[in-house]
């Protein structure tokens, strides 16, 4: 049975950021959208890689927020990202406003989720 939920968040204004969680039973994924106040940028959507087997929404939100934070933090001078930064392939085409808004929403969605180090070790077997 497929499950789908959408939650809205405020970054610059109410409902400008949306996080959709989809769980088909075979895989799960997040679709994260941000609508900029600047009409020249419109709406950007970032899709997570599908998790197979499916993962809980909070875990996926936590993991994606960690990736975006690592990408945003990869600067040589505190402003411009280094070439070859971690996760550049996934997030390099998005404007910073989108990344910051989605990172904030994902952290809110993840709540107090903390990864289980034992489970991470077992997945790596």
Range 86-124 burial, b when 16+ CB lie within 10 A, else e: ebeebbeebeebbbbbbbbbbbebbeebeeeeeeeeeee
Predicted local distance difference test score (pLDDT) of residue 122: 53
Give yes or no for a contact between 92 and 112, defined as CB atoms under 8 angstroms apart.
no
Q: 17-65 pLDDT, tens per residue? A: 999 999 999 999 999 999 999 888 999 999 999 999 999 999 999 999 9
Interior CA angle at 76 toward 74 and 82, to 5°? 55
Q: 75-108 pLDDT, tens per residue? A: 766 566 677 678 888 998 999 899 999 999 999 9
Whether pLDDT at 125 is above 50: no
Distance of CA 69 to the CA centre of its chain: 9
């Amino acid at each position: 049975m497929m499950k789908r939920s959408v939650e809205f968040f405020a970054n610059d204004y109410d409902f400008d950021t949306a996080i959709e969680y989809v769980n088909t039973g075979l895989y799960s994924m997040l679709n994260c959208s941000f609508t900029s106040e600047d009409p020249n940028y419109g709406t950007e959507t970032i899709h997570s890689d599908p998790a197979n087997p499916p993962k809980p929404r909070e875990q996926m939100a936590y993991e994606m927020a960690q990736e975006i934070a690592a990408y945003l933090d990869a600067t040589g001078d505190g402003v411009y990202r280094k070439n070859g930064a971690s996760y550049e392939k996934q997030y390099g085409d998005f404007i910073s406003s989108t990344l910051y808004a989605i990172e904030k929403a994902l952290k809110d969605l993840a709540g107090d989720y903390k990864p289980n180090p034992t489970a991470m070790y077992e997945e790596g077997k």
